Each structure stands twice: as structure tokens, then as C-alpha cells.
């Protein structure tokens, strides 16, 4: 194969990868916005979206009465697949980041907290699992 054709093929593969990444990013953002609306319908207030600390990123930080809610949003073809995407190492990073965030609040580590997992399927259906995971 000529070098020019190899370069063209490589460029096409790279472009498709970038497009796939962009679609995944936008799909994830749309899922997060849907989950924010679902929590809002419950009277839960959004405090932060995609908060990043030294320990990692938290998709959504909300306030449900006196409780800080740290929510991980997962999107997949089915709710079950989305729920299965949260792995223990990621849950530990979320808990570490939550501890960092709580250090900035008046209540500190004494605050009431909850760790939720919101699953969004391919049709946009949302399932929020409260207390899906906790401190490790």
C-alpha cells in the first residue's frame, strides 16, 4: 500500500475515534441533564455539576434537605448495563472526592451524606438508586 493511502486511512480512523468520543461526551452530558431534572422534580437542589477535586470527579452534587447527595451518572443501552458500569475503584475515588468536597462545607465530615447511582438507558429512562454505595 502506498504511504499516502496509509496516511489517509490512519487519518480516517483517528477522525472516527474523535467523532465517537464526541458523541459519547454529548450523550453523557445529556444523561446528566436528564438526571438533574429528575432530582429537581423531587425537590433536590443541584449544588455542583462535574465537580473535580484532587481525588477525582463527582458527576453531580446535590442537596436533599440536610443531606449532601453525591451522584454518579451512568448511561448504557439498558439500565442494568448502566448500573453495572460503576466499579469499586471508581466508587472509592468518588468517596475520596466527596470527603474533599465536604471539607469545604460548614458541616465538614459530620455532614449527612448519601451516594446515589443514576442509570440512564438508551431510551432516556432514568433509575436512581439511592445509597447505591458508601464509604470504603
pLDDT of residue 5: 59
**Which positions ≥6 away from 32 have C-beta within 8 Å?**
49, 50, 59, 60, 73
Structural domains of the chain ordered from first start: 3-129 (3.40.1350.10)
Which of the four pLDDT bands, split at 50, 70 and 90, describes residue 81? very high
pLDDT value at 136 more than 60: no
pTM recorded for the entire structure? 0.82
pLDDT of residue 25: 76
In this predicted model, what pLDDT tens digit does every residue of 9-39 receive, in sequence order?
Answer: 555 555 666 666 677 777 778 899 999 999 9
Is the CB of residue 69 less than 8 Å from the CB of residue 110? no
Query: Within 10 A of 33 (CB to CB), how many other CB atoms are there?
Result: 12
Least Cα distance to 133 among 77, 78, 74 occurs for 74
Amino acid at each position: 500500500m502506498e504511504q499516502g493511502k496509509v496516511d489517509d486511512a490512519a487519518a480516517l480512523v483517528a477522525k472516527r475515534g474523535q467523532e465517537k468520543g464526541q458523541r459519547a461526551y454529548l450523550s453523557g452530558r445529556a444523561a446528566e441533564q436528564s438526571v438533574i431534572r429528575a432530582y429537581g422534580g423531587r425537590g433536590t437542589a443541584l449544588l455542583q455539576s462535574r465537580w473535580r477535586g484532587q481525588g477525582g470527579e463527582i458527576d453531580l452534587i446535590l442537596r436533599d434537605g440536610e443531606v449532601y447527595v453525591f451522584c454518579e451518572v451512568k448511561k448504557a443501552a439498558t439500565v442494568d448495563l448502566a448500573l453495572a458500569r460503576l466499579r469499586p475503584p471508581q466508587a472509592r475515588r468518588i468517596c475520596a472526592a466527596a470527603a474533599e468536597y465536604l471539607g469545604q462545607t460548614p458541616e465538614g465530615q459530620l455532614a449527612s451524606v448519601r451516594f446515589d447511582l443514576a442509570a440512564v438507558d438508551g431510551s432516556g429512562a432514568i433509575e436512581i438508586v439511592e445509597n447505591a454505595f458508601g464509604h470504603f
